[in-house]
Amino acid sequence: MRTTFIESLSQAASENPDIWLLCGDLGYSVLEPFAAKFPDRYLNVGVAEQNMAGIAAGIALSGKTVFIYSIGNFPTLRCLEQLRNDVCYHGADVKVVAVGAGYAYGSQGYTHHALEDAGIMSMLPGIEVFVPCDPMEVRAATRLIATSGKPSYLRLSRQGEPNLGTAVTDLRKPRVLREGREVVILASGPIASRALEAAGELAGRGRDVGVVSVSCLKPLDEAAIRDAVRDASLIVTLEEHILRGGLFSLVAGLFAGDARRPPVTGLGIPEQGGKTSSAGSREALLDAADLSAQAIVARIEQSLAKR
Amino acid sequence: MVHAAKASHIGGCLSMADILAVLYTRILRVDPAEPQSPSRDRFVLSKGHATAIMYATLAECGFFSLTELDTYCRDGSIFTGHVSHAVPGVEVSTGSLGHGLPIAIGMALAARHAGAGSRVFCLLSDGECDEGSNWEGILFAPHHKLDNLCVIVDFNKIQSFGSVAEVLNLDPFAEKWKAFGWQVEEIDGHDLAALEHVLSGVPAASNRPTVVIAHTVKGKGVSFMENKLEWHYRSPSDELLAQALAEVGA
């Protein structure tokens, strides 16, 4: 995903001389091609995210489109007030790009796990939030935010994620990765691959399960989500993020006022306050969070049985 | 304004009044008729609480009429108690401290890239220098040789809850900036000629940003406010207002 992002950004920057990229001393072996191609529009500001966000606002308020890039919590939570006041309040054309969504930096420990970022960023007024599930969506999202003129958050995983679908037609709309109507799994981010695995397993047990990638969390296309789940007897949300403030909150909120109120089961990462995290790969940590494909299957079957 | 609105920060407004007067009448290339001109100089007020003097200065310069100031802090007014970019002539909204300098740095980088010769001036308070985000910027600007950037510190020695020396001592202040690679100028912030001399000389050194440490007096010009902590927050009674206006010759 990182490589796709930088390729797409380089393409956008060669078409638009107003695109800048700032990084907070992270991006080794990823950002160099951009730096080499556009040396006067690339800047490593050092390990100083508050300064990076403020500088980005200042450049953007001078008429430019500025991407800032770092790992997970650093370009987001570390400089949250700069994003709120300097960027969003002024409508500055700044794109916050965080690599390492969820458990992507698994064994590095809790400080490097981005588990609350999408929800917190979604709460900022005037920002658009994208959580692509595969390189195709990363390409579409990068193209889209490069020309949107608005503050944006782009949440990337780390590397090696496969393409999960065939084409992206409109990134702002839910993208069907697998057709199915009885149970619809709405997933955000690369964890959608586990939804596909689980759906395959459930299909083998006679269930009709669809998987839909929701990569644009804000603005959420509510009509399209309703349409995607219109025949479902169970909606499942799946995210590599805590449930509070993430995809589950958005979807549950969307249906809260409905007379029909389809049941929504939220699958995500448990909140970890006061508990230490153990070392482990992304895969191992997701499994430990009860998000293996098998566990997803079991939890969906439990939800269906309760109905 | 602050009397009618019962909103203050008057002490920190008066300490920087002379600085703003010199900036807006002698230094800044800004035009009320074309406030968004791309080649304009930028002024970033980082001590966003000192907004009354900022609005008053902009009104005096013709960005809007003086009568509009009567709405200051009133219901529905754009003239909020911390500086707002809804007000013509204001570049950025601030109020949370430690935000202005990084934004000013971004503007200085963009201005240098554009080659339009714009300069960026950023006014900090002394108490604001407690914020770490400033020191990130103070480290950054000399490294990138931003000689079109000028920071002015309104060094009135009193912050919100005590003197700077008591709360979090900045000494040796000038030496800290020098050690970070800035061109440091230290002046009496109420000496109009000195202010004009120093600020008109920006960039004072090629390849280096300039900081002007302006030694000022909190509540300057009003005897009962000068160097008094309580006038960080208080707004004057009718009687004290009359006395203050008489003292400043308004």
The per-residue pLDDT for range A10-37, each reduced to its tens digit, is 999 999 999 999 999 998 888 999 999 9
- Beta-sheet pairing, A42-44 with A175-178: unpaired
Q: How many other C-beta atoms are found inside a 10 Å radius of the C-beta of residue A231?
A: 12
**Which pLDDT score is estimated for A159?**
80
Dihedral pair phi/psi, residue B15, rounded to 5°: -65, -25
Q: Is the peptide bond before A219 cis (omega within 30 degrees of 0)?
A: yes
pLDDT computed for residue B1 by the predictor: 83
**pLDDT, average across residues A143-166:** 94
CATH 3.40.50.970 in chain A, residues?
2-156
Nearest to residue B115, comparing CAs of A96, A10, A40?
A40
CB atoms B110 and A64 under 8 Å: yes
Per-residue confidence band for B249, with pLDDT thresholds at 50, 70 and 90: confident
Instruction: State mean pLDDT over A57-80.
Output: 98
Residue of A259 and B120 predicted with greater confidence: B120
Contacts (Cβ under 8 Å, ≥6 apart) of A284: A106
Burial (CB count within 10 angstroms: exposed 0-12, middle 13-18, buried 19+), residue B77: middle
A212 token code pair? 């839909």
pLDDT at A149 over 90: yes
Q: Where in chain A is CATH 3.40.50.920? A: 175-306
CA angle B195, B201, B207 (to 5 degrees): 130
- pLDDT of amino acid B127: 96
Of A41, A58, A81, nearest to B103 by CB-CB distance is: A58
Taking 90 as the threshold, does the pLDDT of residue B75 lie above it?
yes
Looking at CA atoms only, how far is residue B162 from chain A in angstroms?
A: 26
Which H/E stretch holds residue A66?
strand A65-71
Percent of chain B exceeding pLDDT 70 equals: 100
The answer, yes or no, to whether residue B236 has pLDDT greater than 80, is yes
List chain B residues with CB under 8 Å of A57: 92, 102-103, 106
| Minimal C-alpha gap between A56 and chain B (Å) | 6
A198, with CB counted inside 10 A (0-12, 13-18, 19+), is buried
Residues of B in contact with A51 (CB under 8 A): 102, 105, 133, 136-137, 140
- Residue A165 near residue A110 (C-beta atoms within 8 A): no
Q: Is the pLDDT of residue B7 over 80?
A: no
Contact between A85 and B85 using a beta-carbon 8 Å cutoff: no
Query: Residue A307: its pLDDT value, please?
Result: 75
A86–B102 CB contact, under 8 Å: yes
Pairing of strands A216-218, A128-130: antiparallel
Question: At B43, which helix (H) or strand (E)?
Answer: strand B42-45
Contacts of A59 in chain B (CB under 8 A): 106-107, 109-110
Quickly state the pLDDT bin for B184 (edges 50, 70, 90).
Answer: very high
Of residues B166 and A261, which shows the higher confidence score? B166
Q: What integer pLDDT is reported at residue B145 of this predicted model? A: 98
In this predicted structure, what is the pLDDT of residue A211? 98
Q: Which residues fall within 8 angstroms of residue B175, CB to CB, at 6 or more apart? A: none
pLDDT > 90? residue B81 = yes
Q: Distance between CA A154 and CA A199 in Å, rounded?
A: 27
Which of A76-85, A160-169, B142-151 is the least confident region?
A: A160-169
State residue B25's pLDDT score. Answer: 97
Which strand ranges, in their side-by-side order, compose the sheet holding B210-215? B42-45, B120-125, B149-155, B210-215, B183-188
Is B109 in contact with A64 (Cβ distance < 8 A)?
Answer: no
Report whether A69 contacts A99 (CB < 8 A): yes
What would the pLDDT profile of A200-232 be if each residue is shown by its tens digit? 999 999 999 999 999 999 999 999 999 999 999
In this complex, do A86 and B139 lie within 8 Å of one another by their Cβ atoms? no
Q: Is the pLDDT of residue A90 over 80?
A: yes
The rounded distance, in Å, linking the Cα atoms of A249 and A266 is: 9
The residue type at A303: S
pLDDT digits (tens, 9 = 90+) for B85-121: 999 999 999 999 999 999 999 999 999 999 989 999 9
pLDDT at residue number A306: 86
Task: Give tens-digit pLDDT for B193-225.
Answer: 999 999 999 988 899 999 999 999 999 999 999
b/e code A50-71 from CB counts within 10 Å (16+ = b): bbbbbbbbbbbbbebbbbbbbb
Residue A183 CA to residue A302 CA, distance in Å, equals: 13
pLDDT band at B8; cut points 50, 70, 90:
confident
ipTM above 0.90, yes or no: yes
Taking residue A89's Cβ as centre, other Cβ atoms within 10 Å add up to 18
Q: Which residues of A touch B140 (CB under 8 A)?
A: 45-46, 48, 51, 55
Confidence of residue A262 (pLDDT cuts 50, 70, 90): confident
Region A175-306: CATH code: 3.40.50.920
**DSSP string for A6-39:** HHHHHHHHHH-TTEEEEESS--TTTSHHHHHH-G
**Interchain contact A48–B (C-beta under 8 A):** yes
Q: What is the CATH number of domain A2-156?
A: 3.40.50.970
Q: Are A52 and A75 in contact (CB under 8 A)?
A: yes
Instruction: Tell me if the pTM is above 0.80.
Output: yes
